[in-house]
């Protein structure tokens, strides 16, 4: 059961490819000279022609593995001091209370010691397309038929998606309108080594975490490059400014303002025993420091789903004609309650967040209210893998976007995406599983299927002859270049060959026809050892990083 509400980001679903081909493993490159160019099946579901290569810049000359050992120790020591003083922290797994009691069992967040070289053109491309993706999510969310029809087959075999669709259907039956719509998104990308194309991994519309800590990593790296400029010969100004936490806080404040009740609260729904609580507390701190009116007349409450049911369900029913979501202090009268202006979800994206009907009741309760949801159920569904795959089909973007240049920019980011009804793609994936990734309709790490497991899963589905395939999509596997890096975990530095994934945050706020905010809002760089498929930071696979523009 969800017991406490502390920062809990969705385990970042980094779809890293396994590039540890130096080991004795089956190498898909040995079977296919162009592993990033998957021959598209001759069917309407093929979203792209073969990908074309783009020119690559020269490789940067800096190699962190070549640092003098004494200098490395000094940089690592200063990085740990900086992290401790500035709040670049997570809970320590070794402490049982680290996820429930702030200030207990602290350890520095897993980080890369120095920033990762990244092409400036790709960074600018990802920032430029972020507002377009924001608008795309909003327009998709308003097309209820598209959401319900696209996920209809998935609903039959995926109980979690089915429950989300049921809530969405209930809102349609109520004719429930979300006039004020808030999105805190993150679009994740990798650069394919063969084609040098920036390709989208996924678009997160719920629990886009690490906005609070990612900007601190950029500040840390900039500080280290200043301090050790004589030894590293790297320009600190090549690390882009990263205002992700400020931008998220501003979006929450503006949404609260649009609700137009100065005594209402911003509620954050979180998972229990969340070791990543400080990421979220940074947003709270910025809200209180930057927006005195909100801090004076409102407050920032963190609840789990059990709290929401226990403290508000009866009272919502009694006030149902108003649609106001009110939380009460236990044993208090309604007049002493707190009206919720904004409900910001950092939980609710995984089946494990709903261990009983109480949690589903709480999710429905929030959705029925007039509180601003981040995300609403429609925004949540718009971020599913199946919708990502549907949008990659020919002529689908034209259904939601009007500007041809915007459509071209979005489509350029799409990797190959297919449903499992495409028999020619399934056949190819069975023959060459190393070129594909199987993805279920899930957020968070550890859900995807790679390598030979793709073949096994597809063959088992074919034997069963059921509609289980509707729960998955196939995605082209992206092969990013490996780079040398020094990763820091629990005070220890490790020299590794790594892969990186760029996430660009987007903030979007709309009140009816008026777009109040639509920005790219900072970035998250995650880096992981190249030999691992999975990449969640909190799960122990990846570390937080920043980018050095080249």
Residues tagged active-site = 186, 202, 204, 209, 385, 439, 443-444, 526
Does the annotation place 475 within a ligand binding site? yes
Closest by alpha carbon to 422, among 451, 458, 388, 449? 458
Does the annotation place 447 within a ligand binding site? yes
Q: Which residue is it, tokens 């493993």?
A: 25
CA angle 481, 484, 490 (to 5 degrees): 120
Does the annotation place 442 within a ligand binding site? yes
Euclidean distance between CA atoms 403 and 20, whole angstroms: 42
Does the annotation place 331 within a ligand binding site? no
Tokens of 489: 């975990």
Does the annotation place 538 within a ligand binding site? yes
Q: Residue 54: exposed, middle, or buried by beta-carbon count in 10 A (0-12, 13-18, 19+)?
A: middle
Does the annotation place 207 within a ligand binding site? yes
Q: Which residue is it, tokens 């980080």?
A: 111
* CA 149, chain centre distance (Å): 25
- The alpha-helical segments, DSSP class H, found in 87-151 are 120-142, 144-150
Does the annotation place 444 within a ligand binding site? yes
Euclidean distance between CA atoms 438 and 421, whole angstroms: 13
Does the annotation place 318 within a ligand binding site? no
Which of helix, strand or coil describes residue 161?
Answer: helix
Question: In the 8-state DSSP scheme, what is residue 504?
Answer: E
Does the annotation place 379 within a ligand binding site? no
Euclidean distance between CA atoms 84 and 77, whole angstroms: 11
Q: Dihedral (C-alpha) 87, 90, 92, 97: value to the nearest 10 degrees?
A: 90
Does the annotation place 320 within a ligand binding site? no
The string over 302-331, giving b where at least 16 C-beta atoms fall within 10 Å of a residue's C-beta and e elsewhere, is bbbbbbbbbbbeebbeebeeeebbbbbeee
Preceding peptide of 375 cis, ω within 30°: yes
Euclidean distance between CA atoms 520 and 272, whole angstroms: 30
Beta carbons of 182 and 322 less than 8 angstroms apart: no
Does the annotation place 31 within a ligand binding site? no
Does the annotation place 93 within a ligand binding site? no
Which of helix, strand or coil describes residue 485?
Answer: strand
* Beta carbons within 8 Å of 83's beta carbon, 6+ residues apart: 89, 108, 109, 111, 216, 220
Does the annotation place 346 within a ligand binding site? yes
Does the annotation place 516 within a ligand binding site? no
Beta carbons of 195 and 38 less than 8 angstroms apart: no
Does the annotation place 245 within a ligand binding site? no
Strand duo 338-345 + 265-269: pairing: parallel
Does the annotation place 202 within a ligand binding site? yes
Does the annotation place 443 within a ligand binding site? yes
Does the annotation place 204 within a ligand binding site? yes
Does the annotation place 385 within a ligand binding site? yes
Does the annotation place 356 within a ligand binding site? no
If you count them, how many residues does the chain have? 550
List 117's β-bridge partners, or say none: 548
Does the annotation place 206 within a ligand binding site? yes
Does the annotation place 449 within a ligand binding site? no
* CA 255, chain centre distance (Å): 21
Euclidean distance between CA atoms 201 and 524, whole angstroms: 14
Does the annotation place 186 within a ligand binding site? yes
Does the annotation place 87 within a ligand binding site? no
Does the annotation place 448 within a ligand binding site? yes
First-residue to last-residue Cα distance in the chain? 47
Binding residues for Mg(2+): 202, 204, 443
Binding residues for ATP: 202, 385, 439-448, 475-478, 501, 528, 534
Binding residues for substrate: 186, 206-209, 274-276, 280, 346-349, 450, 526, 537-538
Binding residues: 186, 202, 204, 206-209, 274-276, 280, 346-349, 385, 439-448, 450, 475-478, 501, 526, 528, 534, 537-538
């Amino acid at each position: 059961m969800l017991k406490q509400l502390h920062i809990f980001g969705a385990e970042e679903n980094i779809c890293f490819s396994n590039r540890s081909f130096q080991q004795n493993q089956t190498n898909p490159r040995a079977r296919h000279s162009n592993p990033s160019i998957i021959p598209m099946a001759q069917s309407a579901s093929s979203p792209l022609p073969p990908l074309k290569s783009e020119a690559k810049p020269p490789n940067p000359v800096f190699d962190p593995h070549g640092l003098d050992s004494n200098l490395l120790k000094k940089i690592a020591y200063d990085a740990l001091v900086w992290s401790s003083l500035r709040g670049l922290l997570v809970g320590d797994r070794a402490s049982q209370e680290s996820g429930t009691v702030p200030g207990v069992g602290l350890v520095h967040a897993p980080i890369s010691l120095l920033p990762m070289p990244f092409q400036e053109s790709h960074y600018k491309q990802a920032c430029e397309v972020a507002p377009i993706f924001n608008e795309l999510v909003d327009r998709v969310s308003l097309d209820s038929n598209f959401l319900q029809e696209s996920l209809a087959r998935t609903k039959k075999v995926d109980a979690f998606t089915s429950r989300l669709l049921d809530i969405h259907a209930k809102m349609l039956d109520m004719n429930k309108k979300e006039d004020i719509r808030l999105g805190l998104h993150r679009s994740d990308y990798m650069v394919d080594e063969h084609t040098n194309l920036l390709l989208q991994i996924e678009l997160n519309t719920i629990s886009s975490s690490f906005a609070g800590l990612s900007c601190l990593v950029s500040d840390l790296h900039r500080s280290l490059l200043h301090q050790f400029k004589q030894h590293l010969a790297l320009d600190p100004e090549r690390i882009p400014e990263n205002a992700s936490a400020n931008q998220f806080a501003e979006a929450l404040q503006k949404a609260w303002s649009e609700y137009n009740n100065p005594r209402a609260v911003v509620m954050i729904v979180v998972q229990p025993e969340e070791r990543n609580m400080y990421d979220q507390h940074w947003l709270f701190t910025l809200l209180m420091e930057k927006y005195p009116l909100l801090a004076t007349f409102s407050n920032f409450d963190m609840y789990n789903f059990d709290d929401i049911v226990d403290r508000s369900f009866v009272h919502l029913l009694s006030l149902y004609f108003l649609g106001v979501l009110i939380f009460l202090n236990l044993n208090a009268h309604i007049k002493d309650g707190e009206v919720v202006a904004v409900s910001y979800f950092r939980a609710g994206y995984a089946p494990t967040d709903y261990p009983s009907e109480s949690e589903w009741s709480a999710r429905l309760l929030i959705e029925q209210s007039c509180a601003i949801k981040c995300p609403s159920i429609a925004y949540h569904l718009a971020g599913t893998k199946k919708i990502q795959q549907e949008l990659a089909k020919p002529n689908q973007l034209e259904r939601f976007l009007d500007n041809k240049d915007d459509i071209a920019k979005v489509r350029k980011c799409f990797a190959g995406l297919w449903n499992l009804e495409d028999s020619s793609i399934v056949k190819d994936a069975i023959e060459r599983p190393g070129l594909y990734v199987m993805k279920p309709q899930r957020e968070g790490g550890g859900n995807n299927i790679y390598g030979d497991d793709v073949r096994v899963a597809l063959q088992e589905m074919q034997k069963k002859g059921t509609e289980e395939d509707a729960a998955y999509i196939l995605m082209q596997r992206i092969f990013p270049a490996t780079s040398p890096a020094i990763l820091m975990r629990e005070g220890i530095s490790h020299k590794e060959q790594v892969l990186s994934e760029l996430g660009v945050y987007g903030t979007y706020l709309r009140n009816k026809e008026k777009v109040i905010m639509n920005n790219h809002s900072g970035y998250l760089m995650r880096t992981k050892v190249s030999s691992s498929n999975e990449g969640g930071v909190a799960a122990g696979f990846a570390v937080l990083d920043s980018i050095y523009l080249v």
